[in-house]
C-alpha cells in the first residue's frame, strides 16, 4: 500500500516521545490523592497480616511513626481501622462508644505526631460486634436498621469529639447519613466532613480485610441484606443521591477496579467528590501475582491506581498508597 493511501490523521504521532505523551496525558496521579488504610491494634493483636503481605497491625507508637513517614511522602490522609480483642466485643458493639477506646486514642496519637495529616475514621460496628455484622441483630438475626443508626450516631459523636477530620460511615444502613449529620450539627461540629460509603457492594473481595480486623471467623451469615448486589448499577446512583441529600460531602464506591463503571457513572451524574476503595482482595491478588513474577510490580500497581482516577475517582483508599507515593516522589526528583 502506498503512503498516499493512508489518512492524514495519525494518532500515533502523539505517542512517539515521552515529552509529547506527558503533555497530552489526560489523567494524573499524585500522592495527595491517596489515602492509606492502617490497622490499629494492641499487644497480642499487633503484627503482620498473612493474607495481606506487606501490611501489619500497628500499635499506637508504630502508628505515629508510620504517619510521619506517610506525610513526608505527600500522602494527604490515613484511614484507621481497629483490631478489637474478642473479650471487648458483644452483641451490640458497645466498645464502639467508648471515648477512651482504641480509635479515639489512635486519633490523638496521629494528631500529636503529625497534626497536618488528615484522619479518616470508619463508622460501623463490625469490628466491635461478637457476630461480625455492621449493626445490631434482632431476634431473627436480621440487622435492625434503626437501632443500628442510633448506635452509629453515638459512635460518630465520640470519634468527632476525639479529633477525627473525616467520618466515613461504611455500614450501609438507610438514613444514617442524615442522622449523623443532625447530631453533629447539634454538637457544633458544623464543619465535620462525612465521606459516605454510598455504594458499598456485598463483594467477595473483602476477605483479607476481615482477616486483618478479626471479623472473618466471627461473621455469622453474610452481609447481603444491607450491602449492595454486585449486579446493580442504577441502584448505586439512587444510594448516592440519598446520601448527598442527607448531607454527605464525599461519596465512595467500594470495591474499586471491579466497579469502574459505577465510579464513572457516579462522577458523571453528580459531579461531586468521589472516593474509590482499592480493597484488600484487590491488593492481595496483585501481591500474589507480583510475588509469582507474573506481573511487573511498579507498572501494575501504578496502572491500577491510574485507572481508578481515569474512571472518576478524586481520591483513592489503597494499601499501595505509601509505595505509590514513594515512586511518584522519584519521578519528580
**Catalytic site residue from 89, 223, 254, 322:** 254
Residue 124 in any domain: the answer is yes
How many CB atoms are closer than 10 A to CB 59?
18
From residue 174, alpha-carbon distances to 143, 198, 220, 271, 293 in Å are: 11, 10, 21, 23, 44
Which residue's C-alpha cell is 505509590? 324
- The answer to whether residue 6 is domain-embedded is no
* CATH number of the domain where residue 137 is located: 3.20.20.70
Does the pTM exceed 0.85?
yes
In a domain, 9, yes or no: no
Of 265, 210, 276, the closest CA to residue 233 belongs to: 265
Helices and strands: H and E segment counts in the chain: 11, 10
Write the pLDDT tens digit of every residue in 235-288.
999 999 999 999 999 999 999 999 999 999 999 999 999 999 999 999 999 999
Q: What is the pLDDT of residues 9-45, one digit of tens each?
A: 889 999 999 999 999 999 999 999 999 999 999 988 9
- Cell (9 digits) for 318: 489503597
Q: What letters, b where the CB count within 10 A reaches 16 and e where it falls short, cover 154-173?
A: ebbbbbbebebbbbbbbbbb
205 is a domain residue: yes
State which residues form the domain around 155: 29-332
Question: C-alpha angle 306/213/236, rounded to 5°?
Answer: 50
- First and final C-alpha spacing in the chain: 46
| 254 given a catalytic annotation | yes
Q: Any catalytic annotation for residue 216?
A: no
pLDDT single digits (tens) 211-227: 999 887 778 889 999 99
Residue 252: how many CB atoms within 10 A of its CB?
27
How many separate domains does the chain show? 1
Catalytic member of 111, 200, 223, 322 = 200
Question: Residue 123: what are its φ and ψ, rounded to 5°?
Answer: -110, 105
In a domain, 122, yes or no: yes
How many beta carbons lie within 10 A of that of residue 288, not counting itself? 13
More confident residue, 330 or 320: 320
Q: Which of 295, 251, 303, 244 is nearest to 277 (CA)?
A: 251
Confidence of residue 47 (pLDDT cuts 50, 70, 90): very high
The residues near 72 (Cβ < 8 Å, ≥ 6 apart) are: none
pLDDT above 70 (res 333): no
- Within a domain: 13: no
Residue for cell digits 513474577?
A: 293
Note whether residue 52 is domain-resident.
yes
199, part of any domain: yes
Amino acid at each position: 500500500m502506498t503512503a498516499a493511501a493512508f489518512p492524514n490523521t495519525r494518532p500515533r504521532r502523539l505517542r512517539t516521545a515521552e515529552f509529547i505523551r506527558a503533555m497530552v496525558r489526560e489523567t494524573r496521579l499524585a500522592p495527595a490523592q491517596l489515602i492509606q488504610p492502617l490497622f490499629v491494634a494492641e499487644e497480642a493483636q499487633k503484627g503482620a497480616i498473612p493474607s495481606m503481605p506487606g501490611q501489619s497491625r500497628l500499635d499506637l507508637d508504630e502508628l505515629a511513626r508510620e504517619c510521619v513517614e506517610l506525610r513526608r511522602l505527600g500522602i494527604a490522609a490515613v484511614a484507621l481501622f481497629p483490631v478489637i480483642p474478642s473479650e471487648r466485643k458483644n452483641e451490640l458493639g458497645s466498645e464502639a462508644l467508648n471515648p477512651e477506646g482504641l480509635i479515639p486514642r489512635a486519633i490523638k496519637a496521629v494528631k500529636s505526631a503529625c497534626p497536618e495529616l488528615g484522619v479518616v475514621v470508619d463508622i460501623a460496628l463490625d469490628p466491635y460486634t461478637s457476630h461480625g455484622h455492621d449493626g445490631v441483630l434482632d431476634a431473627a438475626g436480621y440487622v435492625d436498621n434503626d437501632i443500628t443508626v442510633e448506635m452509629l450516631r453515638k459512635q460518630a459523636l465520640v470519634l468527632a469529639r476525639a479529633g477525627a477530620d473525616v467520618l466515613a460511615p461504611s455500614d450501609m444502613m438507610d438514613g444514617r447519613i442524615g442522622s449523623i449529620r443532625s447530631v453533629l450539627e447539634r454538637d457544633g461540629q458544623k464543619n465535620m466532613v462525612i465521606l459516605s460509603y454510598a455504594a458499598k457492594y456485598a463483594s467477595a473481595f473483602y476477605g483479607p480485610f476481615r482477616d486483618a480486623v478479626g471479623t472473618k471467623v466471627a461473621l455469622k451469615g453474610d452481609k447481603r441484606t444491607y450491602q449492595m448486589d454486585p449486579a446493580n448499577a442504577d441502584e448505586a446512583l439512587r444510594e448516592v443521591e440519598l446520601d448527598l441529600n442527607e448531607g454527605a460531602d464525599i461519596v465512595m464506591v467500594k470495591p474499586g477496579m471491579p466497579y469502574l463503571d459505577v465510579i464513572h457513572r457516579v462522577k458523571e451524574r453528580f459531579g461531586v467528590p468521589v472516593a474509590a476503595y482499592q480493597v484488600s482482595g484487590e491488593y492481595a491478588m496483585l501481591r500474589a501475582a507480583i510475588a509469582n513474577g507474573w506481573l511487573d510490580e511498579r507498572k501494575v500497581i501504578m496502572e491500577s491506581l491510574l485507572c481508578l482516577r481515569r474512571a472518576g475517582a478524586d481520591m483513592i483508599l489503597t494499601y499501595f498508597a505509601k509505595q505509590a507515593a514513594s515512586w511518584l516522589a522519584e519521578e519528580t526528583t
